[in-house]
């Protein structure tokens, strides 16, 4: 049985073993979240707010599974990851098996709209909307439909903060915390001119619309999509 990681450094080290996407696509903004940032997000969710241990968790736009696998390592009861990219989902399944959390995780190939139901916690590192304007809004709206508590990473800046707060409140949720962070992004695509970029981001903790009905539906149901991994 996988022992829960308590020290943040141990979690960061474990997450660094999660393999990134071998062929990321620019139009999907597939930037693997750095292990230290993922560890920080999960540590806040677990040890400041108690939103991970023994909770049902969904990772929207899971990529190769770093956030979802981290939640499983921190004793989430069940983790579902969904991503439109089948290569990423295959990698997530492989990574979960390698990290010893295969039995706790389920990985789905499909758009995030294939997931419905209620989860205790949503984790997401959505597209920032740089390549496709408004791409992050779809993730925000879906997370509010699914989650009791939500952790979502976005571009920093006062203007963006004001917009996201208005968007969240306008869709029935509320922001309960904003945590500034910094992500290092390596050169991945042709339009990148530097070896690496340091990007300031904000982690938003939010309450969604489902907290009144979480007890009614603890398990999520897939309306469509193709599942790979544990059932």
Torsion-angle region of residue 77: left (phi > 0), alpha (psi -120 to 50) or beta?
alpha
Mean pLDDT of the chain: 82
Taking the C-alpha atoms of residue 7 and residue 60, their distance in angstroms, rounded to an integer, is 25
Q: Any idea what DSSP says for residue 45?
A: I
Taking the C-alpha atoms of residue 227 and residue 93, their distance in angstroms, rounded to an integer, is 10
Q: Which of 17-31, 73-87, 131-145 has the lowest mean pLDDT?
A: 17-31
Exposure letters 134-151 (e unless 16+ CB within 10 A, then b): ebbbbbbbbbbbbbbbbb
The more confident residue out of 172 and 211 is 172
Domains of the chain: 8-212 (3.40.50.150)
- Does 227 score more than 60 pLDDT? no
Whole-prediction pTM? 0.82
Q: 224 falls in which pLDDT band (50, 70, 90)?
A: very low
Q: What pLDDT does residue 123 have?
A: 98
Q: 4 falls in which pLDDT band (50, 70, 90)?
A: low
């Amino acid at each position: 049985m996988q022992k829960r990681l308590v020290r943040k450094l141990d979690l960061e080290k474990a997450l660094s073993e999660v393999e990134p996407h071998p062929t990321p696509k620019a139009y999907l903004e597939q930037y693997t979240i750095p292990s230290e940032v993922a560890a920080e997000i999960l540590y806040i969710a677990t040890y400041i707010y108690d939103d991970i241990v023994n909770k049902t968790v969904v990772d929207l736009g899971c990529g190769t599974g770093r956030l979802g696998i981290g939640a499983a390592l921190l004793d989430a009861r069940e983790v579902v990851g969904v991503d439109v990219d089948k290569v990423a989902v295959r990698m997530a399944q492989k990574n979960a098996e390698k990290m010893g959390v295969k039995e706790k995780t389920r990985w789905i190939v499909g758009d995030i709209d294939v997931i419905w139901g209620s989860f205790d916690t949503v984790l997401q590192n959505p597209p920032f909307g740089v390549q496709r304007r408004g791409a992050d809004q779809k993730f925000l709206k879906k997370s509010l439909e699914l989650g009791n508590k939500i952790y979502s990473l976005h571009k920093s800046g006062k203007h963006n903060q004001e917009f996201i707060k208005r968007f969240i409140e306008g869709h029935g949720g509320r922001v309960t915390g904003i945590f500034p962070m910094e992500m290092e992004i390596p050169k991945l695509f042709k339009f990148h001119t530097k070896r690496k970029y340091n990007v300031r981001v904000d982690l938003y903790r939010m309450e969604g619309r489902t907290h009144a009905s979480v007890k009614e539906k603890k398990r999520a149901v897939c309306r469509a999509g193709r599942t790979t991994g544990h059932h």
